[in-house]
Structure 1
Amino acid sequence: MGDKANTNPGAAGSATTADHPSSIRNVVLVGHTGSGKTTLVEALALTAGAVNRAGRVEDGTTVSDYDEIEHRQERSVQLSLVPVEWNGCKINLLDTPGYADFVGELRAGLRAADAALFIVSAAEGAEGITGATRVVWDECEAVGMPRAIVITHLEAARAGFEEMTRVCAETFGGDDPDAVLPLYLPLHGPTGPDGHAPVTGLMGLLTQRVFDYSSGERSESAPNGEQTPLVAEARDRLIEGIIAESEDETLMDRYLGGEDIDLKTLVEDLERAVARGTFHPVLAAAPAAEGARQGIGTVELLELVTGGFPTPLEREAPAVTTPQGRTRPAVSCDPEGPLAAEVIKTSSDPYVGRVSLVRVFSGTLRPDEIVHLSGHGLEDRGHEDHDVDERIGALTSPFGKQQRTLNRCIAGDIACVAKLVRAETGDTISAKDDPLLMAPWDMPDPLLPLAIRAHSKADEDKLSHSLARLVAEDPTMRLEQNPDTHQLVLWCLGEAHKDVALERLRTRYGVQVDVIPHKVSLRETFGDRSAGRGRHVKQSGGHGQYAICEIAVEPLPAGSGIEFVDKVVGGAVPRQFIPSVEKGVRAQAARGVAAGHPLVDVRITLLDGKAHSVDSSDAAFQTAGALALREAASEAKIHLLEPVAEIQVLVSDEYVGAVMSDLSGRRGRVQGTEQAGPGRSLVRAEVPEIEIGRYALDLRSLSHGTGRFSRTYVRHEPMPPQLADKVREEQEKATG
């Protein structure tokens, strides 16, 4: 690992078709914004020969491959795939966004990958490892996903590889920091005027060989006398760490007894430990110098991926059922097995239409075949559930703005599929005569509301279709037409997520929308007993309108709804008009009696009334019932009720006090706390929903990105009088 020659680099511009799952590596890159993920992907593609830094000529125009990658990734706000070839292996590099708002794209990348590279910037020190990055590491550990760490930005002043390696061991090593150790140490050139010595190469700790990149091409040599002592301590620790993970229980005794363990045994044990996810090597990477073909550490990293990371054959596929939920045998990574693939990303191309990025877990996907598309059960987020047959369009391998044609996509591989009209992210693709449904991956719940309305009539005509396409691409968005506030609400994960949604509506779909204040669903109720009389008497020639009714209204316990009671005696209101009165008062209750919010939790009793043998009618008594309820409300104290949610906040122990204090400041009532794993606590509280509209943003800031929360509606309860008065004043201003 790290000492093999590159025997089969991919040619620039070629499309790699894998022949067997054993020759595929699916690797996701994880790290916060600015850590250098995209730059590293570009450097790996350059080293593997997948791009030509100088650009190439296409149709008479010189095109930069780097520009293509950057354009495709939209500044790292979405998942992107860059396939390269190294030593006969196809490596699918899945570059994920670093923004916390786009964690849905990150989770899609984790679903499609079999191993992860965690990218950490040495220029930022310990602050470069965010709480969100630690959470993802823990999630990978829970499922045994192999991981390695790449330290970038070593060219920056005051960047320290040794210090960052120590920080990574403390952060990611847990109880076993010796499971996080470097395979190479960076070598530095002469110190410059700024006092910083640039990285010029690497020293292999196992091989004790020098890999020099200073000439622009990687060269190998023996260390000089000054370099050898620098690696002795680090080398001994690495060997002990590898032996501790070895399946050969005699190896440690032999090593401690003074035996020199041969390099081949150490490398094989290292590769097995990495593939099992029990040892996490640390590597260094730096961009190539001007005119150089290889970035520092890129060859070593490609060798680690091909030699140490598992093939798709070694990873368990997601569980499958029939679309109706019946149990099915597990699928395996077999190109000849039943077709089971998953849409991990959906995007729209202005020329091709809908393009689906698909990971094939079993079977082989071929162009033009008819397949079954199973929905994913996210109807609550505005994603239509479906079970339909569709024809596969062209299969392509993405790179930059290009799509390179493939003749098939076998189990373990990833490809783009065109023209799946109904496909949405998370959907399962299976054989037409053997439909399957894969268990969905964990998606965060969008908790930041964005209320919108069309800017013009022309925008209104396109808005519904455009929003449907937008949420089809992003399952972390939820579209809601609120029946109480009548607002169209797009629920997002954060400010950046919201901004990207608005920008895509404007630029991709040509729809301009206005953002309006989000409203919560308030209610009204009576604070005491009251009575009202509704009189609707009109005569304008011909049949008139005549209806009089008298009602009593009294409050009921929370959650009782509207109760209607008939206590009319003597036929004062004819029996056929009793339902008319009820219909009228219920319609008025739905419209509200004070501030325009639905009336709840009252008993309305019809006591008396009058009718006319000719002029009384259903419509007249409906109107009289509504008038009676409005008069009763004018004589009573009306309470405004606000929705209260139970929220559960999962946060690092160090932020529990700050979270509880913040919740109290939001009129919240903390119900309790409990341990939720090492160093994590769960805080439960009841908080008015009007106070947590932006809590998704505030919690992220308060907990330095480590906190998550969920919310569940509990009940409506009376709003404090001063706040209720403010709401009424705002309502009066809005209505003019």
Structure 2
Amino acid sequence: MGDKAHTHPGAAGRARAADRPASVRNVVLVGPSGSGKTTLVEALALTAGAVNRAGRVEDGGCVSDYDEIEHRQQRSVQLSLVPLEWDGIKINVLDTPGYADFVGELRAGLRAADAALFVVSAADGVDGSTRVVWEECAAVGMPRAIVITHLEAARADFEEMTRSCAEAFGADDPDAVLPLYLPLHGPRTPDGHAPVTGLIGLLSQKLFDYSAGEREESEPGPEQLPLIAQARDRLIEGIIAESEDETLMDRYLGGAPVDVRTLVQDLERAVARGVFFPVLAAAPAADGARRGLGTVELLDLVARGFPTPLERAAPRVTTPDGTPRTLRGCDPGESLVAEVVKTSSDPYVGRVSLVRVFSGTLRADQTVHVSGHGMADRGHEDHDVDERVGALSTPFGKRQHPVPHVIAGDLACVAKLSRAETGDTLSAKDDPLLIEAWEMPDPLLPLAIEAHGKPDEDKLSQGLARLVAEDPTMRLEQNQDTHQVVLWCLGEAHADVALERLRGRYGVRVDVVPHRVALRETFGTKAAGRGRHVKQSGGHGQFAICEIEVEPLPGGSGVEFVDKVVGGAVPRQFVPSVEKGVRAQAAKGVAAGHPLIDVRITLLDGKAHSVDSSDAAFQTAGALALREAAADTRIDVLEPVAEVGVLVGDAYVGAVMSDLSGRRGRVLGTERTAGGRTLVRAEVPEIEIGRYAVDLRSLSHGTARFERRYARHEPMPAQVAGKVREEARGGA
């Protein structure tokens, strides 16, 4: 790979390269923040001739990270598509954010891609979150390769980093994670550092020197051959071990020479099948250079070793009513099936949808059927409608290059799909289909917001609807108990971006307020109360007296009302009035303003007046009786308790259990799972885990994840309940 000349036709060539699925490659870049993904994309674009030496797009603008928020925060926050052309192959490079808060953008990239390129910094190594993504890719058999960046760092060691990658990614077979090239070092600097100036091809046994700003090929010297031999032998054995030709290993071990072209072909097949994972190195071009180190080799690997869309298994589909269907494969001539993998808003053209076409051909001005999965719990309505497709384009930086159609296997942007949201399916209007939903992380960090002023109140609802339409990892909640508007996010950075988009993109200013959990109250012991509502102010007066008894019930019982009046002390027509009054008061609370639950309220006696008694009077008397009963007993404040499951690496189990205990949690047990992880199950008060999404990430170095679900309400400890009551009185 990488031993021939290349041409760079630019934007027009990129459009022509995608005439058939076999000429398309979709690759997603995976790696943590700071690993060099975006810099690598710029270097690849420069080598492919898509940008000039200043790193600018041919018609102006940067290739990636062009969003204003990304500029201000100095990090990627969204998925970017950068299409390149290399040797007649269109390569759709999907650059993903590395920060954990934007994992939804990463999952969108994985959904749209057919192979993954893991970017590892030689200065920082492999982090835990990258290992988790590698395992997810392995579970679905996605082809992968590794590129090591930051070779210029003082402590960078390519050989050591390659061994670390084999340990981290090659758990089942370390010999499947091997370098294709070795670094070529230049003269040592005064501080003892020998910079990497080129690469040594292990299969071709050629030197590729980038030190002069161009890629120059030469033969290795006698002193370099021993360095090559050992690594080359191991690489050949690794390739042959994955060869589909079972006789090749016997011939090789018997001393028969193996043709390099055969090895390259077997390597390409093994990479495309997802059973061999080559390691490469790359660095951006130096000032004045036309190519970055290793970029030619990397583009060659993607173009020749990564699979075409034809080799990807078709996604599972159903009709909108759930009837299973089978796609025939990636064929531009078949019925249309495409998926919206990202939604964004443009101030000039409105909503823009990034779409991956799996079958058929998507054309501009075509009417398509839009099917949505709903996700009502996240603020996404279900929909099943026809829409007219707007203009189609290929993005590059801030620019959009118009295209007349998009074939199966390719990606493009679609304008003005007003109803389509991320994860929705576009299909033929006469044959509507729905692609199986992709897994999205559950947002577990609450952000309670209020409109800053009256003008913002009018725009808030629409702004929030557009925000969650773009980001399926965000959940919008209108909490009926606390009367708060809550945006559930993946982390603090995710929340910051949401607020900035509301303000900058949709013109909505909001204030962040403390998030409240839905507390409840109940009676600690049995109590009695008398409600007397007697008023005379001319004309008809008001007269109602009732006596009640209140007793606590087991959790989950709600509010039970029992009528035990005898002798007509409370006329039959007013008994429902008493019930209505006590239930209304129970909903308001009797101590700290939280709804009363898990009690039985029994109406025992009362008095009425033939003229002055009324429905309203007995409602008021019922409420007064309940308040009097509450004043004579202990009222417990109930807090919601969540069942929490934390999946964490074995090294952090002790720290996680200790932290949960410190949050008044009860650890219920642990369960060993695959991959050296443990599932810790616990019950924890929800008031204690408001920021657990952030704290757990810090505690586990980004390797743990958790899920939660409501279990029940139970009494708060007295000291905590006291603080809640003080806060309630202060707020009043």
Q: What range describes the TM-score normalised by the shorter chain of this pair?
A: over 0.9
In the alignment, does 2:112 pair up with 1:112? yes
- Superposed CA deviations along residues 108-142 of structure 1, whole A, max 9, x for unmatched, are 10000000000000012xxx311110000000000
For 2:212 and 2:472, locate their aligned partners in 1 and report how far apart those are by CA, in whole Å. 47
In the alignment, does 2:270 pair up with 1:273? yes
Note if contact 2:51-2:57 (Cα within 8 Å) is conserved in structure 1: no
Note if contact 1:15-1:406 (Cα within 8 Å) is conserved in structure 2: no
Which of 566, 569, 573 is the equivalent residue of 2:566?
569
SS in structure 2 of the partner of residue 123 of structure 1: coil
Comparing 152-161 and 133-142, the one that deviates more = 152-161
Structure 1's unaligned 5+ residue stretches are none
Note if contact 1:48-1:85 (Cα within 8 Å) is conserved in structure 2: yes
SS in structure 2 of the partner of residue 712 of structure 1: strand
SS in structure 2 of the partner of residue 357 of structure 1: strand
- Superposed CA deviations along residues 378-423 of structure 1, whole A, max 9, x for unmatched, are 1101111111111000000001010110110011000000000011
In the alignment, does 2:673 pair up with 1:676? yes
For 1:244 and 1:544, locate their aligned partners in 2 and report how far apart those are by CA, in whole Å. 97
- Superposed CA deviations along residues 312-338 of structure 1, whole A, max 9, x for unmatched, are 010112211111111112341111111
- Superposed CA deviations along residues 221-256 of structure 1, whole A, max 9, x for unmatched, are 111222222211100100010011111111111111
Note if contact 2:25-2:307 (Cα within 8 Å) is conserved in structure 1: yes
- 1:236 maps to which residue? 233
Structure 2's unaligned 5+ residue stretches are none
For 1:339 and 1:67, locate their aligned partners in 2 and report how far apart those are by CA, in whole Å. 30
* Compared CA separation, residues 469 and 67, structure 1 to 2 (3 A): closer
Shift of 1:56: 7.7
Which of 137, 142, 156 is the equivalent residue of 2:139?
142
RMSD between aligned alpha carbons?
Answer: 1.5
In the alignment, does 2:468 pair up with 1:471? yes
Which of 632, 638, 644 is the equivalent residue of 1:635?
632
For 2:238 and 2:69, locate their aligned partners in 1 and report how far apart those are by CA, in whole Å. 40
Which of 379, 385, 389 is the equivalent residue of 2:386?
389
* TM-score for the superposition, normalised by structure 2: 0.98
- 1:129 maps to which residue? 126
For 2:67 and 2:517, locate their aligned partners in 1 and report how far apart those are by CA, in whole Å. 40
- 1:11 maps to which residue? 10
- 1:449 maps to which residue? 446
- 1:617 maps to which residue? 614
* Compared CA separation, residues 66 and 72, structure 1 to 2 (3 A): farther
Residue identity opposite 2:718 in structure 1 = P
SS in structure 1 of the partner of residue 483 of structure 2: coil
Shift of 1:446: 0.4
Shift of 1:166: 0.6
Shift of 1:63: 3.3
For 2:337 and 2:69, locate their aligned partners in 1 and report how far apart those are by CA, in whole Å. 27
SS in structure 2 of the partner of residue 373 of structure 1: strand
- 2:95 maps to which residue? 95
Note if contact 2:63-2:82 (Cα within 8 Å) is conserved in structure 1: no
* Compared CA separation, residues 715 and 57, structure 1 to 2 (3 A): closer
- Superposed CA deviations along residues 78-125 of structure 1, whole A, max 9, x for unmatched, are 10000000111110000000000000100010000000000000012x
Shift of 1:436: 0.8
* Compared CA separation, residues 298 and 489, structure 1 to 2 (3 A): same
Residue identity opposite 2:24 in structure 1 = I
SS in structure 2 of the partner of residue 345 of structure 1: strand
For 1:708 and 1:689, locate their aligned partners in 2 and report how far apart those are by CA, in whole Å. 17
For 1:12 and 1:404, locate their aligned partners in 2 and report how far apart those are by CA, in whole Å. 8
Note if contact 2:341-2:356 (Cα within 8 Å) is conserved in structure 1: yes
Comparing 106-115 and 12-21, the one that deviates more = 12-21
Shift of 1:210: 0.9
Residue identity opposite 1:497 in structure 2 = H
Shift of 1:66: 5.0
Note if contact 2:338-2:427 (Cα within 8 Å) is conserved in structure 1: yes
Note if contact 2:42-2:55 (Cα within 8 Å) is conserved in structure 1: no
Which of 151, 176, 179 is the equivalent residue of 1:182?
179
* TM-score for the superposition, normalised by structure 1: 0.97
For 2:554 and 2:291, locate their aligned partners in 1 and report how far apart those are by CA, in whole Å. 73
For 1:205 and 1:145, locate their aligned partners in 2 and report how far apart those are by CA, in whole Å. 25
Shift of 1:200: 1.3
For 1:725 and 1:527, locate their aligned partners in 2 and report how far apart those are by CA, in whole Å. 15
Note if contact 1:73-1:80 (Cα within 8 Å) is conserved in structure 2: no
- 1:495 maps to which residue? 492
For 2:511 and 2:65, locate their aligned partners in 1 and report how far apart those are by CA, in whole Å. 33
SS in structure 1 of the partner of residue 298 of structure 2: helix
- Superposed CA deviations along residues 539-559 of structure 1, whole A, max 9, x for unmatched, are 222222221111111111111
Residue identity opposite 2:100 in structure 1 = A
Shift of 1:196: 1.6
Note if contact 1:52-1:65 (Cα within 8 Å) is conserved in structure 2: no
- 2:291 maps to which residue? 294
Note if contact 1:285-1:297 (Cα within 8 Å) is conserved in structure 2: yes
- Superposed CA deviations along residues 469-513 of structure 1, whole A, max 9, x for unmatched, are 001100000010111111111100011111111111111111111
Shift of 1:664: 1.1
Shift of 1:611: 1.5
For 1:561 and 1:355, locate their aligned partners in 2 and report how far apart those are by CA, in whole Å. 47
In the alignment, does 2:644 pair up with 1:647? yes
Shift of 1:73: 6.0
For 1:188 and 1:273, locate their aligned partners in 2 and report how far apart those are by CA, in whole Å. 30
Note if contact 2:38-2:65 (Cα within 8 Å) is conserved in structure 1: no
For 2:611 and 2:327, locate their aligned partners in 1 and report how far apart those are by CA, in whole Å. 74
- The total of aligned residue pairs comes to 728
For 1:235 and 1:625, locate their aligned partners in 2 and report how far apart those are by CA, in whole Å. 88
SS in structure 2 of the partner of residue 102 of structure 1: helix
Comparing 608-617 and 63-72, the one that deviates more = 63-72
SS in structure 2 of the partner of residue 348 of structure 1: strand
Shift of 1:301: 0.4
Shift of 1:13: 7.0
SS in structure 1 of the partner of residue 329 of structure 2: coil
SS in structure 2 of the partner of residue 616 of structure 1: coil
- Superposed CA deviations along residues 273-328 of structure 1, whole A, max 9, x for unmatched, are 10111100000001111111110100100100011100001011221111111111
- 1:305 maps to which residue? 302
Note if contact 1:360-1:413 (Cα within 8 Å) is conserved in structure 2: yes
**Percent identity at matched positions?**
78
Residue identity opposite 1:184 in structure 2 = Y
Comparing 16-25 and 49-58, the one that deviates more = 49-58
- Superposed CA deviations along residues 126-161 of structure 1, whole A, max 9, x for unmatched, are xx3111100000000000000000000111212111
Shift of 1:12: 5.0
Note if contact 2:79-2:105 (Cα within 8 Å) is conserved in structure 1: yes
- Superposed CA deviations along residues 539-588 of structure 1, whole A, max 9, x for unmatched, are 22222222111111111111110000001111111111111111111011
Note if contact 1:381-1:480 (Cα within 8 Å) is conserved in structure 2: yes
Shift of 1:704: 1.2
Residue identity opposite 2:523 in structure 1 = F
For 1:374 and 1:732, locate their aligned partners in 2 and report how far apart those are by CA, in whole Å. 49
Q: How does 1:11-50 map to 2 (within 5 A)?
A: 11=10, 16-17=15-16, 18-50=18-50
* Compared CA separation, residues 296 and 57, structure 1 to 2 (3 A): closer
- Superposed CA deviations along residues 340-388 of structure 1, whole A, max 9, x for unmatched, are 1111000000001000000001111000011111112311011111111
- 1:338 maps to which residue? 335
- 1:516 maps to which residue? 513
Residue identity opposite 2:105 in structure 1 = E
Note if contact 1:526-1:555 (Cα within 8 Å) is conserved in structure 2: yes
- 1:587 maps to which residue? 584
SS in structure 2 of the partner of residue 63 of structure 1: coil
For 1:31 and 1:657, locate their aligned partners in 2 and report how far apart those are by CA, in whole Å. 28
In the alignment, does 2:526 pair up with 1:525? no
Note if contact 1:53-1:64 (Cα within 8 Å) is conserved in structure 2: no
Note if contact 1:550-1:609 (Cα within 8 Å) is conserved in structure 2: yes
Residue identity opposite 1:49 in structure 2 = G
- Superposed CA deviations along residues 501-527 of structure 1, whole A, max 9, x for unmatched, are 111111111111111111111110001
For 1:371 and 1:101, locate their aligned partners in 2 and report how far apart those are by CA, in whole Å. 33
* Compared CA separation, residues 378 and 490, structure 1 to 2 (3 A): same
- 1:702 maps to which residue? 699
